[in-house]
Amino acid sequence: MSVIIAPSVLSADFGNLQRDCEMINQSDAGWYHVDVMDGVFVPNISFGFPVMNVLKKHASKTLDVHLMIVEPERYIQRFAEAGADVLTVHYEASTHLHRSLAEIRKQGMKAGVALNPHTPVSLLHDIIQDCDLVLIMSVNPGFGGQAFIENTYRKVSELKEMILQRNSQALIEVDGGVSESNALALAKAGADVLVAGNAVFATPDPLATIAALHKTANS
């Protein structure tokens, strides 16, 4: 399977969201990455259902929703109704993770778990077979445009090993500070999905940047 590029809508132009959706629809991106922040789990507030409605209307690719919120289990059904295809909750925000993942699947979505930079991969040992995706945060969640944390390579390799050993089908997603400079090394370490916000939208030609990222990650 080729590495999927998932542009992060957080870095898009909200005054021209339809235009940016059309750009992503035409691009080599496989997924849309959608960051929902509540100002409690992370020190920032992004957006919620009104923006999900715009994406549902204009996006023609997988909606990969990353919940950076406390008590994410309260909103599983709402995000299913809002059109999420993949729904990822944070390990650190979930007391009953097994129940939440089962509920996400029951609502017809792929179930993901995200790990903050300080959370060890080994904590997933007893839940990895219930995950469709594991998101490794390669920055502290809350903001786009931060510097990539180098320890991520080691975490991705360790996770890949666990997935193979435990016969899990989970995809590995890396989120934060991804660019053309680290995309290939992340793919080689075992990443299946690369999120890119600033690296795509801060360039003059985002369409060309997505193509270059896709090519580099799959080279």
Binding segment toward ligand DX5, per CB under 6 A, in 57-65, 77-85, 100-108, 189-197: 189-197
The reply on whether position 110 binds Zn ion by CB under 5 A is no
Out of 33, 61, 160, 214, which residue is the one contacting ligand DX5 (CB under 6 A)? 33
Give 75: exposed, middle or buried? Use CB within 10 Å, 0-12, 13-18, 19+: buried
Instruction: Name the CA radius of gyration of the chain, rounded.
Output: 16
The reply on whether position 35 binds Zn ion by CB under 5 A is yes
Residue that is written with structure tokens 């040992």 in the block: 125
In this structure, which amino acid lies at residue 66? H
Out of 28, 38, 175, 192, which residue is the one contacting Zn ion (CB under 5 A)? 175
Given the residues 35, 130, 132, 192, the one annotated as active site: 35
Out of 66, 110, 160, 214, which residue is the one contacting Zn ion (CB under 5 A)? 66
Sheet holding 110-115, edge to edge: 4-7, 193-196, 171-175, 133-137, 110-115, 86-90, 62-68, 31-37
Q: Any catalytic annotation for residue 85?
A: no
Residue that is written with structure tokens 């957080």 in the block: 10
Smallest separation, CB 173 to ligand DX5 (Å): 10
User: Catalytic residue numbers?
Assistant: 35, 175
Binding residues for ligand DX5, per CB under 6 A?
A: 8, 10-11, 33, 35, 66, 139, 141-146, 175-178, 195-199
